[in-house]
Chain A
Amino acid sequence: GNSVTQMEGPVTLSEEAFLTINCTYTATGYPSLFWYVQYPGEGLQLLLKATKADDKGSNKGFEATYRKETTSFHLEKGSVQVSDSAVYFCALRAGGTSYGKLTFGQGTILTVHP
């Protein structure tokens, strides 16, 4: 079946540090890949997405590249801010008759200190 594995957290960084959150996946066919962010006390918001191999999704300074050869979709940001503190979820949506269902990783808690 489909699965998503994220690096374990929590991750604690100082402001302006470089961020990488690893994400690898297992899926049949050609899934679409997503990063969602959950700020404290809120629901999930889509951060970025990529729908085919070698696509790069980007938003708010975050980037992730769909790497089919390594089945990865690592999230990066060059300089984090305190306001980036949140839980980050990697997810995939398989094609075919999956009815758009998302399979999520376990989430990575990011805390950024001033």
Chain B
Amino acid sequence: SQTIHQWPATLVQPVGSPLSLECTVEGTSNPNLYWYRQAAGRGLQLLFYSVGIGQISSEVPQNLSASRPQDRQFILSSKKLLLSDSGFYLCAWSVDTGNEQFFGPGTRLTVL
């Protein structure tokens, strides 16, 4: 069966520090991968998606970047965190564009 992992589960970082969140999927090949952010009191916003290794599409201009160095690995990064980067970050995968997305457990990021 397929599983999706995210780490860390929680993270507290100072403003201006770098960020690296990792997401990995097991049990499937060539998944579509997605990063979402859920800010406090708001819905989920799609940040990035990827349909293959090295292929990243950004949905909104922001302080973050994403990379996909391996087929089942998706990394969310920042060189310098802002207070507004605080939120709950969710990674998701799907078999292809026509199927449901499966979400990871999320990472709660607090920037102080």
Contact = CB atoms under 8 A, between A and B. Distances in A.
Interface of A: 4, 6, 34, 36, 42-46, 49, 89, 98-107
A43 B32 contact: no
Interface of B: 6, 32, 34, 36, 38, 42-46, 49, 51, 57, 59, 90, 92, 94, 96-106
B99 A101 contact: no
Contacts of B57: 99
Contacts, number: 58
A103 B45 CA distance: 8
A99 B32 contact: yes
29 contacts: A4-B43, A34-B100, A42-B105, A43-B90, A43-B104, A44-B90, A44-B103, A45-B103, A46-B101, A46-B102, A89-B43, A89-B44, A99-B49, A100-B32, A100-B34, A100-B49, A100-B97, A100-B99, A101-B46, A102-B34, A102-B44, A103-B46, A104-B36, A104-B43, A104-B44, A104-B45, A105-B43, A107-B38, A107-B43
A100 B103 contact: no
A100 B59 CA distance: 13
Contacts of B94: 100
A45 B90 CA distance: 12
Nearest to B106: A43
